[in-house]
Structure 1
Amino acid sequence: MGSEYAVEMKNITKRFGGLIAVDNVSLQIKSGEIHALCGENGAGKSTLMNVLTGKFPPNEGEIYLKGEKKKIHNPKDARNEKITIVHQELELIPDLSIAENIFLGNQPKTPSGVDWKKMYSEAEEILKKFSLNLNVKTKIKYLTVGQQQLVEIAKAIYLGGNVLILDEPTAPLTGREIDFLLNMLENLKKTDISIIYITHRLEEVFKIADRASVMRDGKMIETFDIKDITVDQLVSTMVGRKMDALYPKIETKIGERTLEIKNYSVPHALYETNIVENANMYFRAGEIVGISGLLGAGRTELMSAVIGAYTTKGNGTVILNGKEINLNSPGDAIKAGIGYVTEDRKTTGLILGQTIRFNISMASLKKVLKNGVLSKKKEKEVVTDLKKRLQIKTNNIENPVSSLSGGNQQKVVLAKWLATAPRVLILDEPTRGVDVGARYEIYTIIKELAQQGNTIIMISSDLPEVIGMSDRVYAMYEGKVHGELQKEEINEDAIMRYITGVA
């Protein structure tokens, strides 16, 4: 029996103990379409996809592929049905090479073992298709998060399949890489593949999706043809309320210079070159300064080196409140009143096995000591206050931080640094993988911090975010500060010209 749908999920319910994560959801995906799955963090999108890929068998409901009822009890069943997923959290093996990761479990063989020559040359061909100029023998751990993501997607496309699920595929990517990926997906759907695309970047939904389904609180709310709706309609359906704007309108007053970076270079960790060359920047109280650039421009390396957290030590001058300082570790930065929300919350932002309480208080333990001993009462007060202020969705601060959705985990990282009361806060990709409702809450906190006279430095690959939030923007290109844009000069065209080296 044929069907117009490549995938049909009927009345799917998934419970975890007493929690209903997916509540009687039906979803239909056509062959050769890009179908966006939208909703806030915790709406049930990833859980629904984990049901389709056999990670979480449903408590109720049925799955049909091309009209045929299928039992998908585990990931192997899904692979046999040619369903492939690229998760938001990368699943590569850091100590293996790019080629070994792509061909893991599928290595070309010779009578005596692995055909390394063939494997490396085929891996090179795959990377070439992605315009990825990387040595296939490089270990994954030496790649940036964005490069790792493209390798993961290349691997999924190489494995082939009838259904490709991408969960936040562009979160770690920048403009050029995103455009390339979206073009690739457009070409891929011509081969009749069905692509399910989970993203919080709504401009991508309108650029490539044919249809979009919106989930909220574990339920399917509505499915739209993209050509029939506006961004505002989609956002309102996702958050369940009308939103007037994506960026809060909070005025801030800009004061004196707080932090200056002069003639600052950062040596490359592996080669005898500089990854950042002679950078000059200044930042003021009450100001939100965006740092924009493509993958590999040196934004993260510069700021990590300034706070003493990068693998190599930077050379140059750092001035804080008029005095030259030398920060040798993040501990020194905390003492100096500088906080750093890192780009990869899972690896460098949180300790996933620990509680929400532990994660929020771990950078500011000195503030919750009483006579040199940790005061549980004081710690609980600080953590509960920040949980409320940032609207972290949990009923118990003793729950593991891994139990939270991505957006709420990001709020915990932010809370951790707010607990240190920093005067300068560096935010590296502050809303990566965060839904539109939680983004607005995070933007409001950032604006309020600036309004209170704090200095905010925001590294972001999301151009609308940079434009919507920044008072001033530094554009970096191949390790150099290529341009500085004042408020009235900030627009997408100007930033793109600088970060691509055209201007």
Structure 2
Amino acid sequence: MVEHILEMRNITKEFPGVKALNNVNFKVKRGEIHCLVGENGAGKSTLMKVLSGVYSHGEYTGDVIFNGEVQKFTSVRDSEKAGIAIIYQELALVPEMTVYENIFLGHEIRRGAAIDWNETILQAGEMLKRVKLNVNPAVKIKDLGVGKQQLVEIAKALSKDVKLLILDEPTAALNEDDSENLLKLLKELKAQGITSIMISHKLKEVIAIADTVTVLRDGQTICSLDAKKGEITENVIIKNMVGREIDNIYPKRNFKPSNETVFELKNWSAYDPGLGREILKDINLNVKKGEIVGIAGLMGAGRTELAQSIFGNAAEYQLKGDLIIKGQKKVFKHPDDAIRAGIAYVTEDRKGNGLILIDDIKQNITLANLKSISKNGVINQNEEIKVANEYKASLNIKAPGIEQKVGNLSGGNQQKVSLGKWLFARPDILILDEPTRGIDVGAKYEIYTIMNELVRQGMSIIMISSELPEVLGMSDRIYVVSEGRITGELSIEEATQERIMELATN
């Protein structure tokens, strides 16, 4: 039996105007956990799409050798037959169907022409046991949390007799407990002989789980690092990813915010008619000019609901309390009201709610402030081009031009476009909800640098983040939310991960 379950030799893949992969070589040993890292746009997902048959043989050059044989996959179904399964960050489950229906969707268990539902349910239960998920197979996917849905995806892969499991940013949308459970499961699957490839930007997880780490940069293989040789460290990975050393991923600010309060919430509460309960309770907080205020808390604590209630209340919560901007009480009935009052909101879901993926960079950047480049309802296209080019340059958006479709950009560059859209609205108060979710360390550093420059210019930022190092590294003050209440306010000097978690679980 060959030592390497997978070899990808001299893989080159081109798109119009872009060479996404340039002579990439990639080897994976049988029975290991192999992490694939690199900046957004480095080619990681493209390489895995070549491997899994999304890009069929003939659309790239080079060889894919799996289990010692050259493969010529023309579809995902071909790679699945060979024993390869890929799980994307956006899960491919049908919400209205049951767990057992999803697990065997596309490869149903049949007795003659009919589906054998009893055997399907029985085998689905066995798959759920393998992934340590204790749920009724008859429950609908929509009734499960994201962490459990992720385990259903893995159960689905195991039902296809998978030999190589590929996970693309599997913990990006998970809380710490679910992330830990998933990584533990990968180690258990390794003990069962299943090889895994994991793409991740979370370097601490990579270091904790990887036997080997391969780094891609600008579509090329930079190096492979071996855990047994002690080569896998955060500094080594970062240096190879970005081509330089980043001494401090959270750039320091050499100035302090002013004492002028620009934003306040007093006794702010929100009732959700759909859920039939109060989701925010007596929130009191304030933001100073030129300050970054961090909002920390566990998933489901009410952080995003807080942002949405401030930004025009599009979710139509029943609100009580006072929202005060620069000393004046405001009532927003629509996000337009919030924008006019100087508030902008960069959503955590950039693909679903933040951007129009089929439109280009130019159209997305100007979307929130079209009035400023329009006359009598007609957009001045020359002005739109000028504005878009300015933001592309100032935010270092990596793309061939402003006509590039946003859906074809990497996650980090999509986030910069989303940020540019709201900066063009010229806000005084910027709400950032998970500003660096799913983007690499180099792009994170660029986002943090932009944030520092914005507050230096006098903007105020409310930053919601699930990453405690990010909250601690970027905030001037931190509010902790638990079950819709603020359970503590911490200065950055007194804040620690332990103290935040203590307050988050109150």
TM-score, with length taken from structure 2: 0.91
How far is the alpha carbon of 1:302 from its aligned partner?
1.6
- Which of 332, 344, 358 is matched with 2:337 structurally? 332
Residue of structure 1 in register with 2:253 after alignment: 250
Residue of structure 1 in register with 2:434 after alignment: 429
Against the structure 1 CA distance between its residues 167 and 119, is the aligned structure 2 distance closer, same or farther, given a 3 Å change threshold? same
SS in 2 for 1:443: helix
Residue of structure 1 in register with 2:486 after alignment: 481
Q: Percent identity?
A: 46
Against the structure 1 CA distance between its residues 114 and 320, is the aligned structure 2 distance closer, same or farther, given a 3 Å change threshold? farther
After superposition, where does 1:7-22 map in structure 2 within 5 Å?
A: 7-17=6-16, 19-22=18-21
Against the structure 1 CA distance between its residues 49 and 421, is the aligned structure 2 distance closer, same or farther, given a 3 Å change threshold? same
Residue of structure 1 in register with 2:185 after alignment: 184
After superposition, where does 1:127-276 map in structure 2 within 5 Å?
A: 137-138=139-140, 140=142, 149=150, 151-153=152-154, 155-157=156-158, 159-226=160-227, 227-255=230-258, 256-268=260-272, 270-276=274-280
- Which of 407, 412, 419 is matched with 2:417 structurally? 412
Residue of structure 1 in register with 2:77 after alignment: 76
- Which of 367, 374, 381 is matched with 2:372 structurally? 367
- Which of 375, 383, 390 is matched with 2:388 structurally? 383
Against the structure 1 CA distance between its residues 249 and 128, is the aligned structure 2 distance closer, same or farther, given a 3 Å change threshold? same
Q: 1:304 is aligned with what amino acid?
A: Q
Kept after mapping to 1: 8 A contact 2:431/2:463: yes
Against the structure 1 CA distance between its residues 127 and 302, is the aligned structure 2 distance closer, same or farther, given a 3 Å change threshold? farther
SS in 2 for 1:363: helix
Measure the CA separation in 2 of the matches of 1:68 and 1:125. 29
Kept after mapping to 2: 8 A contact 1:90/1:149: yes
How far is the alpha carbon of 1:411 from its aligned partner?
0.6
SS in 1 for 2:419: helix
Q: 2:207 is aligned with what amino acid?
A: F
1:289 partnered with 2:293: yes
Q: 2:29 is aligned with what amino acid?
A: K
- Between stretches 198-207 and 226-235, larger displacement belongs to 226-235
Q: 1:316 is aligned with what amino acid?
A: G
SS in 2 for 1:214: strand
RMSD between superposed Cα atoms in Å: 2.7
SS in 2 for 1:234: helix
How far is the alpha carbon of 1:260 from its aligned partner?
1.7
SS in 2 for 1:489: coil
Against the structure 1 CA distance between its residues 465 and 153, is the aligned structure 2 distance closer, same or farther, given a 3 Å change threshold? farther
How far is the alpha carbon of 1:269 from its aligned partner?
5.4
SS in 1 for 2:244: coil
Kept after mapping to 1: 8 A contact 2:100/2:137: no
Residue of structure 2 in register with 1:445 after alignment: 450
The CA deviation string for residues 350-404 of structure 1, in whole angstroms up to 9 with x for no partner, is 1111111111100011121245532112222211111100000112211211121
Kept after mapping to 1: 8 A contact 2:131/2:185: no
Measure the CA separation in 2 of the matches of 1:305 and 1:329. 10
Q: 2:271 is aligned with what amino acid?
A: P
Kept after mapping to 2: 8 A contact 1:251/1:451: no
Measure the CA separation in 2 of the matches of 1:92 and 1:238. 32
How far is the alpha carbon of 1:483 from its aligned partner?
1.9
How far is the alpha carbon of 1:219 from its aligned partner?
0.8
Measure the CA separation in 1 of the matches of 2:130 and 2:65. 36
SS in 1 for 2:204: helix
How far is the alpha carbon of 1:51 from its aligned partner?
0.6
Kept after mapping to 2: 8 A contact 1:173/1:461: no
The CA deviation string for residues 313-357 of structure 1, in whole angstroms up to 9 with x for no partner, is 433322222222122222111111111111111110111111111
Q: 1:248 is aligned with what amino acid?
A: P
Q: 1:356 is aligned with what amino acid?
A: I
Residue of structure 1 in register with 2:36 after alignment: 37
How far is the alpha carbon of 1:129 from its aligned partner?
5.3
Kept after mapping to 1: 8 A contact 2:104/2:120: no
Structure 1: gaps (5+ residues): none
Kept after mapping to 2: 8 A contact 1:103/1:119: no
SS in 2 for 1:180: helix
- Between stretches 355-364 and 97-106, larger displacement belongs to 97-106
Structure 2: gaps (5+ residues): none
How far is the alpha carbon of 1:229 from its aligned partner?
3.7
Q: 1:239 is aligned with what amino acid?
A: V
Q: 1:295 is aligned with what amino acid?
A: M
SS in 2 for 1:433: coil
Measure the CA separation in 2 of the matches of 1:478 and 1:332. 28
Measure the CA separation in 2 of the matches of 1:338 and 1:77. 50
Measure the CA separation in 2 of the matches of 1:269 and 1:432. 29
Measure the CA separation in 2 of the matches of 1:116 and 1:169. 31
Against the structure 1 CA distance between its residues 347 and 446, is the aligned structure 2 distance closer, same or farther, given a 3 Å change threshold? same
Q: 1:258 is aligned with what amino acid?
A: V
The CA deviation string for residues 275-309 of structure 1, in whole angstroms up to 9 with x for no partner, is 33332222221111111122211111121122112
Measure the CA separation in 2 of the matches of 1:10 and 1:202. 26
Residue of structure 2 in register with 1:126 after alignment: 128
Against the structure 1 CA distance between its residues 245 and 68, is the aligned structure 2 distance closer, same or farther, given a 3 Å change threshold? same
Against the structure 1 CA distance between its residues 452 and 297, is the aligned structure 2 distance closer, same or farther, given a 3 Å change threshold? same
Residue of structure 2 in register with 1:85 after alignment: 86
SS in 2 for 1:310: coil
Kept after mapping to 2: 8 A contact 1:4/1:30: yes
